Amino acid sequence: MSEINKQTKYSSAINQTSGGVHERWRLIKDIMARYGVIAGGLGVIFAIVLIFFYLLYVVYPLFIPATAESISRYAVPEQALGKTVLLAVEEQNEVAVRFTDTGQVSFFAAATGKIILTEAVKIPEGSHIVSFAQGSPNNEGAVIYGLSDGKAVIVKHQYKITYPGNVRLITPSLAYPMGEAPLVIDESGAPLEKIAVKIGDDASTIVAKSAGKIRLSHIEKEKSLFADEAALTRTDSVLDYSAADVTGLLIDKDEHNLYLLSDAGRLGLVDIADKSAPVLIQEQNVVDAGQKITSVAFLNGDLSLMIGDSSGLVTQWSKVRDKLNRFSMQKIRSFKVSDTAVISINPEQRRKGFMTLDADGTLGIYHSTSEREMIKEHVANLHPVAAAISPRANVVLIQSDDGKLSFWKVDNEHPEVSLRSLWQEVWYESYPKPDYIWQSSSANSDFEPKYSLTPLVFGTLKAAFYAMLVAMPLALMGAIYTAYFMTSRMRQYVKPTIELMGALPTVILGFLAGLWLAPIIEEYLAGLFALFMLVPVAVMLFAFAWQYLPKAILQKIPEGWEAAILIPVILLSSWFAFSVSVPFEAMVFHGTLRDWFKTEWGIGYDQRNALVVGIAMGFAVIPSIFSIAEDAIFSVPKHLTVGSLALGATPWQTMIKVVLLTASPGIFSAVMIGLGRAVGETMIVLMATGNTPVMDLSVFQGLRTLAANIAVEMPESEVDSTHYRVLFLAALVLFMFTFVFNTLAEIIRQRLREKYSSL
């Protein structure tokens, strides 16, 4: 007996020891699970925060202010050779050039002033220089000297880069693109008081003021298949314009427009497309009364004139079409750069920016499109004489009347972006009015980037709206019927089938939407609209007829499977709607419904439009909304529904008053998740919308979303460029939009849960 007691005690001790081990092991697993969940949650939060700060890190440089730093100051090289009429800096910022009023050209080191080469322009004996003008800064540095005998000499500064011993060597020189012999502009020999030139590959145009007249000479090269050298064809004409008060001449790069300016503030626009018969298009005042024009220059691309006056105001004038489709010069915007006269305007050669100098020696750098003042710095204690900005806009040379040159470095990476250019209407060059436009790149270096995010945000919301308009009714009604009315056996087939739809790749859906669905909708547009009317009518008629069927037939249908019989009804009514579409359009609209919309309502039709996107993206969003909403409705405790029915409520009353209210937090979450999916969708909108960033509420017009825009343009953007960073800004906007929206949705969901948790 004692032996048995010992055995029992031993077994009990073993059991207690084993139980203690299991308890400790469970405790360890609980702790591991708890900390694992905490670590996972913190990891997700950390990843989201990291993404946010990385996006912010890439975007932040867009809004960093520009800076200018004085590097050196030295005496003007070869100052005894004459007064400076032009300063210029070559591409690498190593060599600068100074043209003088005596025809002397000095090349020197831009940072130190050390002379590299001095050369004289070949001016004929017996004549002297009367006028000087620079061609386009982008046109290989061509300049022209107007002489006292009615002739002109064209010369250009050029730079040859070699690498002896792997060290860059820049060798400057002068060239004569039209030959060393002077060109006769005025055969009477009158001095060329004012002059302008544009040098092209195949044609060149010279305009000069002499003897009170404006003379135009156009020289064109004509190449022959059988001749080695091109023949020159020259056209001369005299403008029918009073040139007495003309103090400035400008020719655009296309050599189609001539601008005549006077100190009094008059601007004349002359059409010189036909060089033999120039026509005055418009003449108007471009400065306020009592002010004078003190400086003028083309903005990069020669589509706009920047005009500075004696009050310190710089205005931008561009040629645009008016309501009658006629060209006219209109003031696009203005910049108050100083309280004193603007004596110099130097445009940037690769952007729509410009530099100004006022009479007090204050330097200003501005960007026209973004209307940003990038730099405003006092750079000269005395009166400035000349200034130059490098081709890359990162170096500035300024000469003051004390005989000194200042060399400044400029850090101005992203002037094209401002809050105004991103979110407000901007008046772009050649556009008739301000507008929201996204057009980030072009093959032309004179292009004006248009970085408005407004049409992209609009397109994102428009695509999401139409997708939810399609998906929400179908998904939610389907979820309600499946979870509450459908038999469990039928639910076993329906729910997995709909959830399987979510596994379809969006690229396949986008491909089908763009290449298959869009042409069908275009051809059977009336059938699509008829579908929304015929299907409900067919279902109601079938339901009405159902109650009159013989009971023998009704009893053969399993309970809860009545809805399956509606499938053929829906398919047949849909087929009928599309079958009668084309004849119906021809009979009622005397053509197509698309043409009727265009002629009667002025509504255009694009094949890939918001309607196609709404159907395709709605199809992609339905599984997400359906699955979550169906689970929420099906999870409503049975005692609530049974109690409601027991108290005499009908199934519909129970569903509306009890089930939907109890499941409302889950249903709301389903809708928000579906909306998030629609907002962030990329491939479907990329392939089915035409990808046009237009702001049009019409369901028949295309769109471009933030996500699709990033997918299209990011691979082609230059790293760290303005375009690159603006795309990251678009990603940040999308991130913030979804974050704020989901946060608000979660707050609403929690309040719904608290409100209806007591049911």
Phi, psi (5° rounding) for residue 486? -75, 145
With a cut of 70, list the residues of the chain below it in pLDDT: 1-20, 138-140, 223-230, 380-381, 443, 560, 756-759
- Whole-angstrom CA distances from 130 to 27, 209, 416 are 99, 11, 39
Q: What is the pLDDT of residue 733?
A: 92
Cβ–Cβ under 8 Å, residues 391 and 376: no
Please give the DSSP secondary-structure letter assigned to residue 598: I
Copy the structure tokens of residue 641.
Answer: 């529904």
pLDDT, position 455: 93
Q: Which amino acid is at 712?
A: V
Report which of 367, 402, 370, 397 is spatially closest to residue 383, judged by C-alpha positions. Answer: 402
Q: Is 513 exposed, middle or buried (0-12, 13-18, 19+ CB in 10 A)?
A: buried
309, 263 contact by CB (below 8 A)? no
What pLDDT, on the 0 to 100 scale, is given for residue 155?
92
Answer whether 183's CB lies under 8 Å from 234's CB: no
Judging by beta carbons within 10 Å of its beta carbon (0-12, 13-18, 19+), is residue 345 exposed, middle or buried?
Answer: buried
What are 195's two structure tokens? 């002059």
The pLDDT of residue 16: 60
User: Residue 713 burial by CB count (10 A; 0-12/13-18/19+): exposed, middle or buried?
Assistant: middle
Which value, to the nearest 10 degrees, does the dihedral of the CA atoms of residues 424, 429, 430, 435 take?
A: 0
Tokens of 118: 């001095």
Angle in degrees, 0-180, between the axes of helices 454-480 and 706-713, rounded to the nearest 10? 120
For residue 485, give every residue at least 6 positions away whose Cβ sits within 8 Å of its Cβ, in sequence order, or none.
Answer: 560, 651
Per-residue confidence (pLDDT) for residue 490, from 0 to 100? 84
Measured CA to CA, the distance from residue 397 to residue 406 in angstroms comes to 6
User: Which stretch of DSSP H or E encloses residue 98?
Assistant: strand 95-100
Tell me the CA distances in angstroms from 393 to 114, 136, 413, 415, 490, one per residue in order: 22, 16, 9, 11, 71
**Ordered alpha helix ranges (H), 60-69:** none
| Three-state DSSP state, 151 | strand
DSSP one-letter string for 383-407:
-EEEEEE-TTS-EEEEEETTTEEEE
Reduced to 3 states (helix: H, G, I; strand: E, B; else coil), residue 485 is helix
Dump strand ranges (E) for 361-482: 362-367, 372-378, 384-389, 395-400, 404-411, 438-439, 450-451
- Render pLDDT for 651-664 as a digit per residue (tens, 0 to 9): 888 888 888 888 88
Distance CA 165, CA 9 (A): 96
How far, in Å, CA of 319 to CA of 628, rounded?
57
For residue 335, what are the contacts with CB-CB under 8 A and spacing of at least 6? 313, 314, 315, 316, 366, 371, 373
- Which strands form 246-251's sheet, in the order they lie side by side? 246-251, 257-262, 266-271, 279-285
- How many Cβ atoms are within 10 Å of 545's Cβ, its own excluded? 9
Residues 6+ apart with CB under 8 A from 243: 209, 212, 213, 214, 260
Cα angle 730, 734, 735; round to 5: 115
Tokens found for residue 476: 């939610």
CA atoms within 13 A on the CB side of 570: 7
CA atoms within 13 A on the CB side of 526: 20
| Cβ atoms of residues 417 and 730 within 8 Å | no
Question: In this structure, what DSSP letter does residue 426 have?
Answer: B
Residue 376 makes CB contacts below 8 A (sequence gap 6+) with: 337, 362, 363, 364
Give the DSSP per-residue string, 675-719.
HHHHHH--HHHHHHS---------TTS----HHHHHHHHGGGSPT
pLDDT at 316: 93
Residues above pLDDT 90, as percent of the chain: 23
How many other CB atoms are found less than 10 A from the CB of residue 107?
24
Using CA atoms, how far residue 288 sits from 6, 266, 310, 344, in Å, is 117, 10, 10, 19
What local confidence, expressed as pLDDT, does residue 758 receive? Answer: 59
